[in-house]
Amino acid sequence: MSIPLNAYLLVGAILFSLGTLGVLMRRSVLIVFISIELMLQGVNLTFAAYGAFLEDMAGSMFVVISLTVAAAEAAVGLAILVALGRRVTEFYVDRLDTLRW
Amino acid sequence: MTDQIVAFTYLSIVASVAGLATILVRSPVHSALSLVVVVFHVAGMFVLLGNGFLAAVQVIVYAGAIVVLFLFTMMLLDLRRHETERTVHRRQIWLAIPIAVLLFAEVAWIAISKPEISENLKGAFPPQTIDELGGSAQALATVMFTDYLLPFEVASVLLLAAAIGAMVLARNPDEESLASPPDMIEDAAGTDGSSDQPEGELSETPATHG
Amino acid sequence: MVDGWDVLILVIKALAIFIIVPVAPLVFVLAERKILGRIQSRIGPNRVGPWGLLQTLADGIKLGAKEDFIPPAGDRVVFWLAPLFMVVPAAMAWAVIPIGPEVEIGRKIGLWVTDLNVAILYILALGSVAVYGPVMAGWSSNSKYALFGSLRSTAQVISYEITMGVAVLGVLVYTGSFSLVDIVEKQKDMWFAIPQVIGLFVFLVSGIAETNRAPFDLPEAETEIVAGYHVEYSGMRFAMFFLAEYANMFLVSALAVILFFGGWHGWTIPGIEGLTSVLWFMLKTLALMFVYFWLRATLPRLRYDQLMAFCWKFLLPLGIVNLLITAVLRLGWS
């Protein structure tokens, strides 16, 4: 444990902020999805780092739960995209505005 | 000690650069592949934290299932045609960058200035205990099936719901007709115009040759 | 603690893997062609060298001399990386495979590179990395046959990975350890093939599907989609796909031996226990390799819907029932 906790948290912060930036600025639905996964990577790293430094298994447990949620989210989100793929041919968040008024 | 620092420096730099590539590259497929690089290097950091089990699970679930699902969907939807379009929101980016920078400043400030971990905050699993239990997997199991049994079961129900939901959503509405070919043949025979046309073409071809 | 000898031994072990993983497939390719020939009442390759022994070497030279073609409309970097994603995981997995017990040559040497306490998970993780080979190859080739092959391969491999994991879980319930060395040690008196016979069946079938071999070789079905995901590859890159297929078969066979057939255990000759143990391990692994060739010669290729239905509607429930029975037996036993 020669690496300080701050270093891990900083990497987690970088990944999380990059993911946020990706969600906010990209137009492609798929890249927005991927950016959410990137945010979750940052969160997982933070959980695991705190868990290791607090010498508690709750950190690992939360990573496992977070992985489950990520898998569920990816499955449902991509299923929606496949269903959408029957109606439209382009996947840009600013063009998919049928439900907007 | 130094080898840990070298490993951490390498992992953190590559993870950050790959993270940047994930949100900047043009093609969604390249973005997904960059995410795989991030996943591997975060898994490497889990190993540095002494949690080999988590590293393996991270690679199996993220790299082996989630990102593969992404790539599978991309191939299914055939996204290559639209790669020439603009990739970022023109107006929204001026709001997105300040928000992301602000968020990063905030989280990084917490990360750097967090209070020292005092002894009375520490839990019941110091590295020695984990070694005595036989590894991180066994240590995780001792809490997963006792203190966190309910969250664990709820997570499994969530997965089941997501699996069923995904199947219902992605199912082809026209699948009923595709599943029973005999009906389709009958339908085709019933509508006269469509079944006659190929025969007409066939009879025409010898005529043109003759 | 760690002296020069330890480092030297580790280097020798690592070198052994780097030599065996590329060379073993050359032998297997020839063996397969010879065995397939005999099964089909042919002789098999017999022109190059005595009894055709140098045939694979000649093929290798031929492939090495061929043009290395990259589709102009494809994705160069991904195209270049894809074969590596096939070969590297197959080689890395051997780091945790124990081929024999601890032997005494001046000092105690375990016949494995490292005894990881999450070895099984490590191998499953590498197996999930190997999916990227077909995915990247198929996408970057910019060819519809490659894309179809890669879609088929992805769906097949990630489906059968689940059944494989469920089959492995049965063994883990018996041993309570992820370490392959522990798993082999626990089979000193009885092979897990006997109490885990259903698990063995599920594991072997999933293993064949994981490696995209007949009768599950739909990703490269010649009659439908030419050669599947590696249709655009030529020269050495194609050779790497070919090599990875046989290396993966070898790996799955070795894993089956470790998990179900008692690893290196067998009757040993006193005095040279170490050597006989390794010979037992190799003998069992080669026997399973023969099963692979035998199946290829015997069974016709499945249809794709049959393949998927077999995995999700038959194999997975079977594996879960096996896990349930194992868990109940284990509870009653302890």
Question: What tens digit of pLDDT does each residue of B54-67 get?
Answer: 888 888 888 888 88
**Does the pLDDT value for residue C317 go beyond 80?**
yes
Residue range A5-84 in CATH 1.10.287.3510: yes
Say what the pLDDT of residue B38 is.
92
Is the ipTM here above 0.85?
yes
Can you give the length of chain C in residues? 334
Distances (CA, A) of B197 to B205, B208, C200: 13, 17, 56
Q: What is the pLDDT of residues C145-182, one digit of tens each?
A: 888 888 888 888 888 888 988 988 888 888 878 888 88
Distance, CA of B158 to CA of C158 (rounded, Å): 20
Distances (CA, A) of C42 to C46, C52, C59, C88: 11, 13, 20, 35
Distance, CA of C219 to CA of C229 (rounded, Å): 7
**Contact yes or no for B59 and C128 at CB 8 A:** yes
**Contact yes or no for A61 and B151 at CB 8 A:** yes
Distance of CA C289 to the CA centre of its chain: 9
Pairing of strands C102-105, C107-110: antiparallel
Distance, CA of B97 to CA of A77 (rounded, Å): 25
**Does the pLDDT value for residue B186 go beyond 60?**
no
pLDDT band at C6 (very low <50, low <70, confident <90, very high): confident
When scoring A46, A82, A86, A93 by the number of chain B Cβ atoms within 10 A, the one with the most, hence best to mutate, is: A82
Q: What is the pLDDT of residues B120-168, one digit of tens each?
A: 777 777 777 777 777 778 888 888 888 888 988 999 999 999 989 988 8
For B82, residues 6+ apart whose C-beta sits below 8 A from its C-beta are A90, A91, A92
**Contact yes or no for A74 and B69 at CB 8 A:** yes
Burial class (CB in 10 A: 0-12, 13-18, 19+), C129: buried
Say what the pLDDT of residue B190 is.
43
- Helix, strand or coil, per DSSP, at residue C177: coil
- From the list B33, B53, B63, the residue facing C128 with the nearest CB is B63
Domain residue spans of chain A: 5-84
Say what the pLDDT of residue C241 is.
84
**Does the pLDDT value for residue C296 go beyond 60?**
yes
Q: Considering only CB atoms, which chain A residues are within 8 Å of B67?
A: 37
Say what the pLDDT of residue B35 is.
92
When scoring B8, B31, B106 by the number of chain A Cβ atoms within 10 A, the one with the most, hence best to mutate, is: B31
Long-range pairs of A26-29 with CB within 8 A, sequence gap ≥ 24: A26/B23, A26/B87, A26/B88, A26/B89, A27/A92, A27/A93, A27/A94, A27/B85, A27/B86, A27/B87, A27/B88, A27/B89, A28/A91, A28/A92, A28/A93, A28/B28, A28/B79, A28/B87, A29/A81, A29/A91, A29/A92, A29/A93, A29/A96
For chain A, helix (H) and strand (E) counts, in that order, are 3, 0
- Is the CB of residue A96 less than 8 Å away from at least one CB of chain B? no
Say what the pLDDT of residue A38 is.
92
Query: The tokens 């930036």 sit on which residue?
Result: A21
Q: What is the pLDDT of residues C68-116, one digit of tens each?
A: 777 777 777 888 888 888 888 888 888 888 877 777 666 677 777 777 7
**Mean pLDDT value across chain C:** 82
**Does the pLDDT value for residue A58 go beyond 50?**
yes
Distances (CA, A) of C61 to B60, B160, C84, C241: 37, 51, 20, 16
Q: What is the pLDDT of residues A81-95, one digit of tens each?
A: 888 887 777 777 777
Let me know: does B45 contact B72? Beta carbons within 8 Å: no
Say what the pLDDT of residue C1 is.
54
In this structure, of A33-37, B114-118, C69-73, the range with the lowest mean pLDDT score is B114-118
- CA of B189 vs chain A CAs: smallest distance (Å): 27
Say what the pLDDT of residue B187 is.
46
Distance, CA of A80 to CA of B165 (rounded, Å): 10
**Does the pLDDT value for residue A80 go beyond 80?**
yes
**Contact yes or no for A16 and B103 at CB 8 A:** yes
Chains B and A lie in contact, requiring 3 or more CB pairs less than 8 Å apart: yes
- From the list A24, A38, A48, the residue facing B19 with the nearest CB is A38
**Does the pLDDT value for residue B207 go beyond 50?**
no
Partner chains of C (3+ C-beta pairs under 8 Å): B
Distance of CA B40 to the CA centre of its chain: 13
For B112, residues 6+ apart whose C-beta sits below 8 A from its C-beta are A6, A9, A10
pTM: 0.84
Q: Considering only CB atoms, which chain C residues are within 8 Å of B136?
A: 118
- From the list A11, A48, A91, the residue facing B16 with the nearest CB is A11
- Helix, strand or coil, per DSSP, at residue A49: helix
